[in-house]
Copies of this chain bind each other. A is one copy, B any other.
Amino acid sequence: MQPDPAEAIAEQVFTALADPSRRAILADLATGGPTTATDLADRLPITRQAIAKHLTLLTDAGLLTPTPAERRRIRYHLNPAPIQLAQQFLAALAHDWDTRLTALKTHLTD
């Protein structure tokens, strides 16, 4: 296996999406717009530090981008590109499965 970049990204994206707290963060970001760690800590039932860890993980996965704001705040905003890549991954899976099914069908009706 050569270092497949798409696979690596899929890995990170799916692990990122696997955690409930992380999904909550993403949902908040998607509906409420860019926010900071402490603001999220007010809205979620976990500590700021826990949220900070999730934010770095999400940033490493390419899902988030941090931007410095006023005072010492850092605002995180969503990055749609990796999400689309994950969608393509799922589409490829479904596609392979579908073509296998139709091939079987035509073989049976042969």
A residues contacting B by CB (< 8 A) are: 7, 10-11, 14-15, 17-18, 20, 23, 26-27, 29-31, 33, 78, 80, 83-84, 86-87, 90-91, 93-94, 96-98, 100, 104
Contact = CB atoms under 8 A, between A and B. Distances in A.
B91 A31 contact: no
- Count this chain's copies in the assembly: 2
B100 A91 contact: no
Contact of A83 (B29, B84, B94): B94
Contacts of A98: 80
A47 B23 CA distance: 32
Nearest to A11: B20
A83 to B, nearest CB: 5
